[in-house]
Structure formats: C-alpha cells, structure tokens
Structure 1
Amino acid sequence: MTRQELAARLKLTEPAITGILQRLLGAGLVRQGKRQTKTRYQAAEFSLVPSGAYGLGIERTPQGGAIALCDLAGAMVLCEAFERDEAFFDAILRIRQAKAGFPAPLGVGVIISSGADDEFSALFDDLPCFSLSKPEAVLAGEKLFGVGEPEGGLVVILIEDRVQAGFMINGRFYRGSHGRAGAIGAMRPGLGEGTLDMAASAASFRAFLAEGGADDIEGWIKQAARRLLDGVVTIAGFFSPGVVLLGGDLPDDVIKRLIDEIAKARLEKERYFVPTGWIPPVGALSFPSRDPVYGAAVAPFIELLLPKPY
C-alpha cells in the first residue's frame, strides 16, 4: 500500500505514516517498492516482509504436545504434534535456538495447560511469553488473520471435553473479574435439566456413539444445536457480539451440521420467542485444522508489534 492509502485506512496523517514506516523499514518488517502506473509518476509502495518476524505457539498435552511457527504474513511454516515429551522438548529447543531452518521467534504464545511444569517452562524462559486459554488462542488467530474484530466484539465457542467460550472486544480478552469467564459448559436451561457439557460436548458425542447411536447422529446434533443456541442467546444478552464462531474437537462435517442446525433453531425462535435479529448468527472458525496452536503462534505479533487500542 502507498502512504496515502495507509493514511486513509488508518486515519492518520501522511507525516505520521512516514515516521512509522521508517521505523518498520529499519526493523526489517516492511519492504519498499515502486507501484507501476501508466503515468511517469511511480508512488512508493510498502508491504510486509513475511520473514521479518516469527511467532511460536505451544500447546502442552499430558505426553508431548503441539507446536506451530508462524511468519509475519500469517503463514504457518512449521506445525508438528508429538506424543513423547523428549521429542516435544527437543523441537522447542531447536526452534528457540534457530536450528529448525528459521530465525528464532520474537516471542511465544503458550496455551494454559495443567501439564505445565518447571522443566517445560524453562525451555522458553528467555523469550517474551504470553499465556492464553484455548479460546483466547483461537481469538488471537481470528483477530489477526481470520475474521478480524468486528464491531461489538468476537466470540468463539469450542466444543471439546468441556464446552468453552472466549470473548474479545477492543483488542482485549474478556476474562471476568475472577478469570473464570467462558466456562459455559456448566450452564443449565432450567432446574432438573442437564448441563451444556452433558448435551453438547465432544465427550457427550463420543459417549453417544459408544452407546450405539451412530445411526442417529442427527438426533444428537439437533439436541446439541438447541442447547448451544441457548448459550449463544445468553452471551448475546450480555455482550451483543458482532460474530460468533464455532469449532472444536468434533468431525468437520458434524461441526458444519451443528452450525446449520443452530441457524434453523434460531429462525424457529421467532415463532414463539422474540425477533432474533439481535442474536448473532453462528459461523465456522477460519482455521479449523490448526486452531488453537496457530492462534498462540500469532499472539506475540499482537502483543509485541501491533499498537494497543487501549
């Protein structure tokens, strides 16, 4: 983009844009070229240098874990999962010491895990480190290289062994006054009713299949969709987000059918509830095959390179 285009997009003056670009050029994060036009005048054009910076994302599991290395353009240049601690730790050391074929990352995003220990933390204690919950890691990836951050904020719902949600508004994660925001799996639609985890989690889906329900997956999807919509309605009543995205540890086709069924249930509410224009539609994650470790990898860009809106 040219200085004029950047100034218009960012609502800054051209002198301010020039100063910012000079700093980015000096840091090797931006390159300058010439835009070819039909006139004699060639405007200076600026673009990101993908190899100018790398971010590392790490997710720990009881044995081993997953890592992702992302460049400044959002391309995931390395993504591996490990089932043994030794291989997992060795891969982190090689990346940190720039022995994996890429420069050392400028920072690391770590998905909070109960499997973390001092030996694990020592692998990257010389790098800027940012701890995120799994929904927060997904939100980071969506903010920078996915849907962005729409007006009203962004919500993600992850269906895993527990149903979790995350919310971002004005560039900040909403964690609640006690850090427990997003634990929506414990929600109940009424007294005597089961929790959302019991009706719509990945654990409940596996239990349903194990009990011989493979021939009636549609029944589980309809039940789960109705209960997930209850959660969306509750969230919308508090926050009114611009976008709600759904993903998690379910087969891709099941996630798609859940989203379709939620859309149908949303329309049906108008028959006996209230107009549903205030309830945001539910969409799919932008990076279903690589969230959330991808989002953890781009978190250092958000924290260290991008201006803060607050």
Structure 2
Amino acid sequence: MTDQASKFDVEGTNQTGVRERNERLVLSILRREGPLPKAEIARRTGLSAQTASVIMRALESDGLIAKGEKVRGRVGQPSVPMSLAPEGAYFFGLSVGRRSVELILTNFVGQDIAHRRESYAYPLPSDVLDFVKTASDEILQGLEPAQADRISGMGIAIPFFLWDWAVTIGADPEKMDHWKSFDLRNELSKLFQFPIYLGNDASCACGAELVFGAAETPADFLYIYFGHFIGGGVVMNGSLYKGSSGNAGAIGPFPINGKQMVDVASLNGLERRLIEATGSAAEIVEKTENWNLDSKILEDWLAEAVPAVTRMITGAISIIDFPAVLIDGNLPSDLREVLVDRITKELKNENLAGLVAPQIIEGSLGPKARPMGAVSLPLAKRYMLEA
C-alpha cells in the first residue's frame, strides 16, 4: 500500500464498478496534498497509469478538476499538475448556535462565496427556518445560473439536545421544547432540490479541521471547541469518529466537581460574568476578534475554565491514548493562544502517572469552524472517500 493511500486506509482498485470510489480517492488526495501530476496521482493511489488517466479525464470532464501550468523538470517531458476546480461544486453550510445562526456558501475548495448571519437571544425553530429562507433567497439571487446548478447540498451544524440547557442560556423552556418534535433537515428538504445533511455542531467543527484546516495533526486527537457551550470531537485513524448516536466527543456534559463542563468552561460563563459586571455581553456575542474585556473578568473565567478542561483531558487520555489535543473556538486567536498555553502548563500540575501527556495545539479555523463543518458534510458525503 502506498504511503498516501494508507492515510485513507485504502488503495485505489481497478475492478469494474468501483469508478466512483476511485474518483473519490483521487479527489481526497488532491484536497489533502494540492496539485499533483497524473503520474504522481497514479503512484499514490496504487491505480494503474491507464486507470488513473481514465479517472482523471472523467473528473476533468465533470468540471471537478483542472489542469495547471506545465512544470518543466531537468529531464523528460514537462508534467501538468491537476488540481481541484474551485467552480466544480458549491455547498451551503448552516450553523445553528445558541446565540446566532449563520449561512454560508462556499465553492469546491472552501472559499467563501456568500455569508449571512443573524443574532438572537436563543434559537427557535421558526426563527431559524425563516432566516434560512430569507438568507438563501438572497444568496441564490446573486449567483450565475451555472453556479446555482452546481450546488451539491447543504449541511447543518447544530447542537444536539438544545432543549436540555434552556435555563442555562436564559431561554423559555417551553419554547425550546419545540425542538424535540421539529425536524429541521426535513423542513429544509422541502425547500431545496439538493440533499440536506445534519451533524452535531462541535463534531462538524472537528470535521472542518480535517477537511479545510491548516493545523498539522496526528492520526488520533481530541478536539475541543470553546463556543457559547463547550463541545468537542474525536478523531481516530485520521477520520472523525461520531459514535453510535453521532454525539462522540460531547464533552459539555463531562462532570466536574458536581457540575458539568458546560457550566464551568463555556463562553457562556464569560458572558454571564460580563453581564453581571457591565450589564452587556455584546462584546463577545457580536464580535469574534479584538475583544476589549476587563482583564479581571477574563482571568476569573480562565481560572475556572482551564483547570476543568485540563482535568477532562486527563480523563480522556486515560481511556484513549490521544497524542494531541486540538483547541479552537468562537473566540479571538490571541485568546485561543492563551488557552493553549495555560492548558499546557496546567497539565504539568496533573497526576499523569502511567499516562503520556498529549501535545496541546491550536486549531486553525476559529469562528469559521462550525459553518465550514456544515459545508464539509455534503462535500465529504459526495466527493471524498469515507473511511
């Protein structure tokens, strides 16, 4: 098995009837590695030169890959690198949060084409549905017909069990209970011709790091996302592990000193402190960079959040030997850097006898992780090799 193919735990195959699988393998490698000449693609996939050539001609004909400029080497014929075609496909990504909702449209390589966002006190099914209708209409009206025809799907990144924390976010429990019987994916399927996919918001954010992220990560790692509620994801063998109910890595309910992680390490705690001190949390609700916060308020939150997260990490590595923990969130990059530094130092105070301390590293997508994670759902389902 080639080194590259092993990352996807599969080689290409020349058997009849598996062309789609081979196409996904080629697209996955180009997405991970960037432009490659045909000969190198054949080598990395394990496909014969003839089969690889047929696959790439088909992908080029479908508009999913494109030829680059010729590259001349020292000897032999110049090579022509093949790369993903940005206009090959488009995807909607819907992120439903506890304080805001976002809808983005990206092209095949993850570049933003359009973006809409709306804040609210708390999410209600009718409000989210109305937002999607209005925002998608605006975005679609701005597209060329050829672009609209290439929309391949919509992904939804949404917290599971939204109703369980109604009181925590200051919502009306009776109104939040509407989510129990509301099928958002089904309702959106009635509005669009393309397929709709749904996933847990934090797991989606983790998936976005695998598909679009710039961070160098090992094959196994724990992902932690600091949002209004803290969440996470689990990556095993280079793939997102969702668990039997799609909720693996849901670190919010993790017990900490009689409370849950969501109570002590979420941005909700920082919001609560800001409201108590100043009467408003608009600084962190409306902005994702350049927060102007009282250092005492921030330090008070960090003093509670960092030890709790560190204790959870210790518990996690005692069950699965994660070599790394990736930290990201809906927060400024400088605060993410502080979290990584503080957690790294706090780990040294933990009793890690019999354990190997993981490397604490920064994620690369920040506030974009959840909407981009929503985008990754239809993209991965239709154009990537699934482990």
- State the TM-score bracket (shorter-chain normalisation): 0.7 to 0.9
1:59–1:66 Cα contact (<8 Å) kept: yes
Are residues 1:16 and 2:51 paired?
Answer: yes
CA–CA distance in 2 between the matches of 1:236 and 1:62?
A: 29
Q: Counterpart of 2:52 in structure 1: which amino acid?
A: I
Tell me the residue number matched to 1:5.
Answer: 40
- The 3 A distance-change label for structure 1 pair 239 and 12 is farther
Question: Which amino acid in 2 is paired with 1:23?
Answer: A
1:132-281 to 2 correspondence within 5 Å?
132-147=199-214, 150-170=217-237, 172-189=239-256, 193-212=258-277, 215-269=296-350, 272-274=351-353, 278-281=356-359
Q: Classify the secondary structure of the residue corresponding to 1:262.
A: helix
SS at match of 1:185: coil
Whether 2:143 is the aligned partner of 1:100: answer: yes
1:25 partner letter? E
Which string of whole-angstrom CA distances, capped at 9 and with x for unpartnered residues, describes residues 166-186 of structure 1? 113346543333444333222
Change (3 A) 1:21 1:254: same
CA distance in 2, matches of 1:146, 1:246: 13
1:58 aligns with 2:94: yes
Equivalent residues of 1:82, 1:88 under 8 A apart: no
User: Distance in 1 between the 2:213 and 2:224 partners?
Assistant: 15
5+ residue gaps, structure 2, are: 1-35, 120-126, 160-178, 278-293
- Contact in 2 for aligned 1:58/1:66 (Cα 8 Å): yes
Moved more, 258-267 or 55-64: 55-64
Compare 104-113 and 33-42 and name the one that shifted more: 33-42
Residues 171 and 107 of structure 1: is their aligned pair in 2 closer, same or farther, counting only changes over 3 Å?
farther
For the residues of structure 2 that align with 1:170 and 1:3, how far apart are their CA atoms? 27
Change (3 A) 1:256 1:45: closer
Whole-Å separation in 1 of the counterparts to 2:244 and 2:98: 29
Give 1:290's aligned residue.
368
Q: For the residues of structure 2 that align with 1:266 and 1:63, how far apart are their CA atoms? A: 31
On the 8 A contact 1:64/1:87 being kept in 2, the answer is no
Q: Return closer, same or farther for 1:187/1:231 CA change in 2, 3 Å cut-off.
A: same
Greater Cα shift, 213-222 or 201-210: 213-222
Do the aligned residues in 1 keep the contact of 2:215 with 2:362 (CA within 8 Å)?
no
Query: 1:137-167 CA distances to partner (integer Å, 9 max, x unpaired)?
Result: 2122111121579544343212234322211
How many angstroms does 1:123 deviate by? 2.3
252-261 or 290-299, larger mean C-alpha shift: 252-261
- Displaced runs of 4+ in structure 1, greater than 6 A? none
Which residue does the alignment assign to 2:85? 49
Q: What's the RMSD between the two structures over aligned residues?
A: 3.0
- Give, in angstroms, the shift of residue 106 of structure 1: 0.8
Q: Distance in 2 between matches of 1:194 and 1:177?
A: 25
Using structure 2 for the length normalisation, give the TM-score. Answer: 0.68
Whether the aligned pair in 2 keeps the contact of 1:35 and 1:43 (CA below 8 Å) is yes
CA 231–198 in structure 1, closer or farther in 2 if over 3 Å, else same: same
Instruction: Determine the C-alpha separation between the residues in 1 that align with 2:141 and 2:384.
Output: 24
**What corresponds to 1:308 in structure 2?**
386
Partner of residue 26, structure 1:
61
Range moving further from structure 2, 259-268 or 156-165: 156-165
Question: 74-83 or 167-176: which moved more?
Answer: 167-176
Partners of 1:80 and 1:139 in 2: CA distance: 22
Note if contact 1:222-1:261 (Cα within 8 Å) is conserved in structure 2. Answer: no
Separation in 1, partners of 2:78, 2:296: 64
* % identical aligned pairs: 23
Moved more, 171-180 or 259-268: 171-180
8 Å Cα contact 1:224-1:258 kept in structure 2? no
Alignment of 1:90 with 2:134, yes or no, is yes
Is the partner of 1:217 in helix, strand or coil?
Answer: helix
Equivalent residues of 1:221, 1:257 under 8 A apart? no
Q: Give the secondary-structure state (helix, strand or coil) at the position aligned to 2:63.
A: coil
8 A contact 1:143–1:149 mirrored in 2? no
1:240–1:279: 8 Å Cα contact kept in structure 2?
no
Corresponding residue for residue 25 of structure 2: none
Deviation of residue 281 (structure 1)?
2.1
- Decide whether aligned partners of structure 1 residues 214 and 150 sit closer, same or farther in structure 2, where only a CA change above 3 A counts: closer
Q: How many residues matched?
A: 302
2:283 aligned partner: none
